[in-house]
Structure 1
């Protein structure tokens, strides 16, 4: 009996953070991975360290042309593509009134239209080949309005709505859909938030490591889980609170103060 060929992943935002941790974990599990990132130098350096099962390509996820090129390159290099992991995202911190309109637009274009473009591009290929798995790395901010990163939360709420709507449309087809909602994670994005007082709410709860997110992600892929919340013990309360704006307003001053104290402690520790 022939050995089953390892599955191939196209992973966006692969040069750092959750993406880099996911690439490393995927290789350890036997997957082959195309590391895609607008930071092509970082992606190539990481791919080189991971061996022959990893390859890298530059990808601006806002470009439909580059998406087609990345998908074609994956099929050409590995001979197949089984899983898309939409992970790439950006954040622009600051109170919404202070963030330039073009930065709000850039956040929505990158975090929503970028994954949407890639998902639709790969969906056609997956339907034609009769199998595939589309994985969306979203955020718990898709349930909770988040001061200081308002456009980021809005983009993630839109992304969750699109992911589930598409999954419902394709429910009788051959493609699996999984969406993961990490909590605050120790990534360059969180470091950016740490420097902006407006984003102190991000530190009201304990963060997790990108390695923990990656492990959770691949357990969900293996089980073909529809939706995963992080951390699971807090997810129900967060989702319920996110639908109760009156309660959020009553609690926010306290939560913001907790976040500010944690943020200040973090800054002090990094200057030691």
Structure 2
């Protein structure tokens, strides 16, 4: 995959997982990247390894004041901003009844209101400069009710709805909108899900690497794709299933059994390597 044009990218959740892999790939393609994360030490470590085309900044995506400072810092460091990638997210696993209410609230505040806050902050600047590209890293859970991570899935469904509604509102402006939906990805978040029996559905399908998602993401940015699903061959079936709750109830026991077997195998493999 070749880069046609150097761009300045602000990437949230960049200290690990999909964010870190995307930062590495973007810099290798010639882009300049500001790595933003609440884990500033992790983000700085990666930025330092990437050289002068990368820098790191602390960002709690729930804070509008911090967003403004990060946007200013990015423009000061690289001279402009071309692309915002909203990637940061959190998860609290467990059956909804067992997850404290404050964890449900924090999930929505982080995974939904965090990207909303950043998107609206950068939208004003993109409109003023006459160009820009807003990219949302969502999830295939945006199409599925997902036991074990109910609030996470809800936050992603809300995020997809907001992203597309905003894109429609801005359809006559020069701002581009892209949303990508990774499947289960080998990240610290997935490792958290692996330890909770309630999250077995995450292991029904094959897990992909952060590098796979990063390549898909950077390709979508280059092509200015509207919406990208991972893996594409499963997307249609997943989207149809998600709109058929009766069918989901019939299939869920079988799906959970498959997921739990894969989950147990993963735990066994992990224990064997310790």
Task: Return the TM-score normalized by structure 2.
Answer: 0.97
Deviations 1:184-212 (A, max 9, x none): 00000000000000001100111100000
Partner of residue 58, structure 1: 58
Partner of residue 144, structure 2: 144
* Alpha-carbon offset, residue 157 of structure 1: 0.2
Task: Give the secondary-structure state (helix, strand or coil) at the position aligned to 1:35.
Answer: strand
Matches within 5 A, 1:110-125: 110-125=110-125
Partner of residue 31, structure 1: 31
Cα separation, 2, equivalents of 1:125 and 1:222: 21
Deviations 1:135-171 (A, max 9, x none): 0000000001100000000000000000000000000
Partner of residue 216, structure 2: 216
Cα separation, 1, equivalents of 2:218 and 2:236: 22
Runs ≥4 in structure 1, deviation > 2 angstroms?
none
Task: Give the secondary-structure state (helix, strand or coil) at the position aligned to 2:133.
Answer: strand
Cα separation, 2, equivalents of 1:265 and 1:255: 16
- In structure 2, runs of 5+ residues without a counterpart are none
Deviations 1:218-241 (A, max 9, x none): 111111000000100000000000
Cα separation, 2, equivalents of 1:81 and 1:6: 11
Judging changes above 3 Å, is the alpha-carbon distance between structure 1 residues 5 and 139 closer, same or farther for their aligned structure 2 residues?
closer
Cα separation, 1, equivalents of 2:250 and 2:137: 30
* Alpha-carbon offset, residue 112 of structure 1: 0.1
Partner of residue 126, structure 1: 126
Cα separation, 2, equivalents of 1:240 and 1:40: 40
Task: Return the TM-score normalized by structure 1.
Answer: 0.98
Partner of residue 9, structure 2: 9
Cα separation, 2, equivalents of 1:185 and 1:28: 22
* Alpha-carbon offset, residue 6 of structure 1: 2.4
* Alpha-carbon offset, residue 174 of structure 1: 1.1
Task: Give the secondary-structure state (helix, strand or coil) at the position aligned to 1:176.
Answer: strand
Task: Give the secondary-structure state (helix, strand or coil) at the position aligned to 2:167.
Answer: helix
Partner of residue 171, structure 2: 171
Cα separation, 1, equivalents of 2:204 and 2:145: 14
Task: Give the secondary-structure state (helix, strand or coil) at the position aligned to 2:88.
Answer: coil
Is 2:99 the counterpart of 1:99?
yes
Q: Number of matched residues? A: 269
Partner of residue 247, structure 2: 247
Cα separation, 1, equivalents of 2:149 and 2:265: 21
Task: Give the secondary-structure state (helix, strand or coil) at the position aligned to 2:135.
Answer: strand
Cα separation, 2, equivalents of 1:90 and 1:149: 10
- In structure 1, runs of 5+ residues without a counterpart are none
* Alpha-carbon offset, residue 180 of structure 1: 0.2
Cα separation, 1, equivalents of 2:36 and 2:218: 18
* Alpha-carbon offset, residue 5 of structure 1: 7.4
Cα separation, 1, equivalents of 2:32 and 2:103: 35
